[in-house]
Amino acid sequence: MFNISDFVNVLGVYPGFFKGGPLTGKRSEPVPYGRAKQACYSWGRGHSPQRGPGGGPLGGLRLAPMVIQKSVSRLKLAVLSLMIYVHQSWSTSVKEHLEQGTQLLRTGNLGEALNHYHAAVEGDAKNYLAYYQRATVFLALGRHRQALSDFDAVIRLKPDFHHAKSERGNVLLKQGKVEEAKKQFTELLNLDPDKAQAGLSDLPVLEQAIEDAEASFENNDFANAIDQYDIAIEIAKWDTALRERRAEAYLKIGNIINAIGDVRAIAKLTNDNTGAYLKLSQLHYIMGEEEESLKEIRECLKLDQDHKECHTHYKKVKKLVKQLNQAQDLINEGVYGDAVSKLKAALRTESSEEKIVLKIQSRLCLCNKQGEFMEDCLSTCTTVLEKESQDIEALVNRAECLILNEDFEGAIKDYQTAQGITDSKHIKEGLHRAEKLLKQSKKRDYYKILGVPRNADKSQINKAYRKLAREYHPDKYTDEADKAAAEKKFIDIAAAKEVLTDD
């Protein structure tokens, strides 16, 4: 039997070729020519393309006896000996890869199993089981196109392997390739009638569902079209055309969320689908989800950095996201005037997409309330409520602005509307305060007496009281008329403080 030391020694005796054994790093004694011949012949004997590890790189070793002619140079014999050695190792390696792949597949380690099956296919392109096992892993990973290619190879190598034909038919059915699936299941009838009939029975259901869905779509009956597409997609899960049509139907009835689900599935089912990622980005943008829109449009540009539509949309979304993030940072810092400027710039970037515009106006409503820009507050909050009458945040913000504007009845109305939507402690407290202020306004204006704004807290009220009490204390006055006026003012100040602080 040939071994690597024989090969080293054969090289060692070739004139002028790496004097000594090149793989050993030192001069080797020549191997007898007869031994070299025997090394080649003993391995080659009985190995042919029809059986055993033959059929590899050498296409079988029936040629081995030919190289024993003395006219063949020793170098050629050495090279052939190396090829024999590699071929023998290669065949052993393919078997090991298949065994290791199967073990990993049983433990659910699909990625590593796939690597071994790749190696097995590369090692022996005529091993149908290597293709079949790799195809099963492709299916488990959702890579059905690669799986179909491997099933084709299996059937080409072993036409009577019914498992491959059954799996191939199922892949074609799930891809919605009706005629090809029908042909495959028909061919399977003689080999596995049960699986063939199961596949064939799904085909008329699929065809009818598609026909009914298209008819409903054309008649603008989109709800029924969606129901029929549901039936079809349950069978043909990987048919991107069906998902595209169902996504269109969802958009017709305003169901953007479900449309996004279908478009996302399309992006996963097809490679390098820039159109799907552009559509996803646009749909998220329509939903007012600018961060998600930016994420999806970047996926499009990863696939094609020169994609004109994706690049144009990317520039706009990126600019808007930057402006909104800067505005939010300013809001967090309490710099409401600058935040308003950033938000107005964002409105210039996007002035037509309804949900985006509404989001910007909602933040303007908040900033104007926090910054006590009363006129703008009432304007922006009212704009939001005209579009979303149940927006609790806008209702509360406008109520606070109405209080600052001394429109207590309007504030009570907004707080009552908000309370009808959700019963929270914050809303209850705001309503109570507005009602109290309305009651007080019909009597005496204690805030005016103390010279404080109507949203003044307890500490501000006490501070104003102490200042005015020192100023109007009766003991400071000697003139009787001035002293009497001071006493009246002092009583009013004390009363205002008591009412406003509940002391």
What secondary structure, in 3-state letters, does 92-149 show? Answer: HHHHHHHHHHHHHHHCCCHHHHHHHHHHHHHHCCCCHHHHHHHHHHHHHCCCHHHHHH
- Residue 458's CB is within 10 A of a number of other CB atoms, namely 12
Which residue from 65, 75, 4, 79 is spatially nearest to 37, judged by alpha carbons?
65
Distance of CA 478 to the CA centre of its chain: 82
Least confident range from 251-255, 257-261, 422-426, 497-501: namely 497-501
| 330-354 per-residue burial string, b: 16 or more CB within 10 A, e: under 16 | bbeeebbebbbebbebbeebbeebe
CA dihedral 115, 116, 122, 126 (to 10 degrees): -130
Tell me which DSSP letter residue 30 carries.
P
Q: How far apart are CA 116 and CA 101, in angstroms?
A: 5
* Cα atoms in the Cβ-side hemisphere of radius 13 Å centred on 224: 11
- CA distances 97 to 86, 114, 152, Å, are 16, 10, 21
6 pLDDT higher than 60? no
141 pLDDT higher than 80? yes
446 confidence band (pLDDT: 50, 70, 90): confident
Instruction: Report the share of the chain in percent with pLDDT over 90.
Output: 64
56 pLDDT higher than 50? no
The most distant pair of C-alpha atoms in the chain lies apart, rounded to whole Å, by: 145
The whole-number pLDDT of residue 84 equals 53
Query: Mean of the per-residue pLDDT values for the chain?
Result: 84
The whole-number pLDDT of residue 312 equals 96
Angle (nearest 5°) at CA 462 between 460 and 463: 65
- Residue 33's CB is within 10 A of a number of other CB atoms, namely 14
Helices 110-123 and 74-106 sit at what angle, rounded to 10 degrees? 150
Q: How far apart are CA 27 and CA 112, in angstroms?
A: 43
Q: pLDDT for 274-296, tens place per residue?
A: 999 999 999 999 999 999 999 99
Mean pLDDT of 17-26: 38
The whole-number pLDDT of residue 256 equals 96
The whole-number pLDDT of residue 503 equals 59
The whole-number pLDDT of residue 454 equals 76
| Rounded CA Rg of the chain | 42
Question: Of how many residues is the chain composed?
Answer: 503
The whole-number pLDDT of residue 79 equals 56
354 pLDDT higher than 70? yes
343 pLDDT higher than 70? yes
39 pLDDT higher than 80? no
Residues 39-44: contacts with CB under 8 Å, at least 24 apart? 39/1, 39/2, 39/3, 39/6, 39/81, 40/2, 40/64, 40/67, 40/68, 40/77, 40/80, 40/81, 40/84, 41/65, 41/68, 42/1, 42/2, 43/1, 43/2, 43/84, 43/88, 44/84
Tell me which DSSP letter residue 457 carries.
-
pTM reported for the whole predicted model: 0.68
Q: How far apart are CA 75 and CA 54, in angstroms?
A: 23
Q: How far apart are CA 217 and CA 460, in angstroms?
A: 66
More confidently predicted of 402 and 83: 402
443 confidence band (pLDDT: 50, 70, 90): low
Q: How far apart are CA 40 and CA 117, in angstroms?
A: 31
Asked if 176 contacts 236 with a C-beta cutoff of 8 angstroms, the reply is: yes
The whole-number pLDDT of residue 486 equals 86
